[in-house]
Amino acid sequence: MNVRPGHPLTTMALRGALAIIGFWLATQMVDGVSFDTSLTLLLAGLLLGVINAVMKPLLVILTLPITILTLGLFLPVINTAMVALVAWLLPGMHLSGFHAAFFTALTISVVTWFGSAFARN
């Protein structure tokens, strides 16, 4: 199998790895985020990658009117919902509430943005 830069599998693997780093960083910086084991942390990053690939585009399309009305400020709420869904689906990941989910999603977004910009160069 020839996997090269820009290939969808490479991109998805990179995003999953960046999500794992983002989750780990969030546990260090955000109160109310915890994982029972390192395996749970790894699974959370991978699950977030799958959920973002499958569900996020659908949610962005369904919420397009409110996203346009808020000039894009609703997109972080969608990211928060994706993180909360991962926590709901994955035993061993704990979020104390919206605040923890929001700042975890923000941390993951920043890490993914920096990582993707660095990987392009």
Give the whole-number percent of the chain exceeding pLDDT 90.
73
Q: Is 65 inside a domain boundary?
A: yes
Q: What's the rounded mean pLDDT across residues 64-76?
A: 94
Query: What is the tally of structural domains in the chain?
Result: 1
In a domain, residue 4? The reply is no
Q: How many CB atoms lie within 10 A of CB 48?
A: 29
Determine the 3-state secondary structure of 94 from DSSP.
strand
Task: Kindly report, residue by residue over 25-39, the tens digit of the pLDDT.
Answer: 999 999 999 999 999
What's the pTM? 0.87
Domain of residue 113, residue span: 10-120
Residue 111 resides in a domain: yes
Averaged pLDDT score across all residues of the chain:
90
Q: Tell me if 39 is assigned to some domain.
A: yes
Structure tokens at 114: 């920096």
22 within 8 A of 111, measured Cβ to Cβ: yes
27 occurs within a structural domain: yes
Looking at residues 44-65, what average pLDDT do you find?
91
Q: Under 8 Å CB-to-CB from 25, ≥6 apart: which residues?
A: 107, 111
